Amino acid sequence: VLSFSWMNHIVISHKDYEENACEILAHERAHISCGHSWDVLWLSVVEIFQWFNPFVWMLSREMQDIHEYEADMSVLRQGINPKDYQSLIIKKAIGSSSYAFANGFNHSSLKNRFTMMLKEKSTPWSHMKYLYLLPVSAFCIIACTQSLSSIEECEESKSAVASEQVFPLAEE
């Protein structure tokens, strides 16, 4: 029940190869084609020097999750049935607790992986909603520029008043 890829090599058990070779090999080939081994190697070097930094460890966990999402999407793009693939992931997660270090089928990210698999892809038009930020940004820039010029005018008038001599009148 062991399968993983490392630097263009895939290791898979005979049982997994006989039962689920197509899905598992597609998943592991996706890791290879995306260069995930290089990411893991680079981050391992960073972890050596920043072992005390909790953000490095969080980055490592997030990177592993992203690698799994990318590999899952690659598998589904190859036409493998999503329900069958999810069943395989659950089967591997339940039966592979002793090999969790090697295969990415861990319990904590299963829900997120399934959510990502079922998530609808956004269309290019859906990104148009961010165009509303252009007029808002322009308004903010103009407002800040106006307030800066009014501050400058206020400073100029203060300096003009300060340069004039003021003679107090004594009350009689």
What are the structure tokens assigned to 116, written together?
């990502």
Percent of the chain surpassing pLDDT 90: 8
Q: Is the pLDDT of residue 155 over 80?
A: no
User: DSSP strand E in the chain: where?
Assistant: 3-6, 9-12
Spatial CB neighbours of 160, under 8 Å, sequence gap ≥ 6: none
pLDDT for 39-80, tens place per residue?
A: 889 999 999 998 898 899 999 888 988 898 899 999 989 988
Which phi and psi (to 5°) does residue 130 adopt?
Answer: -80, -10
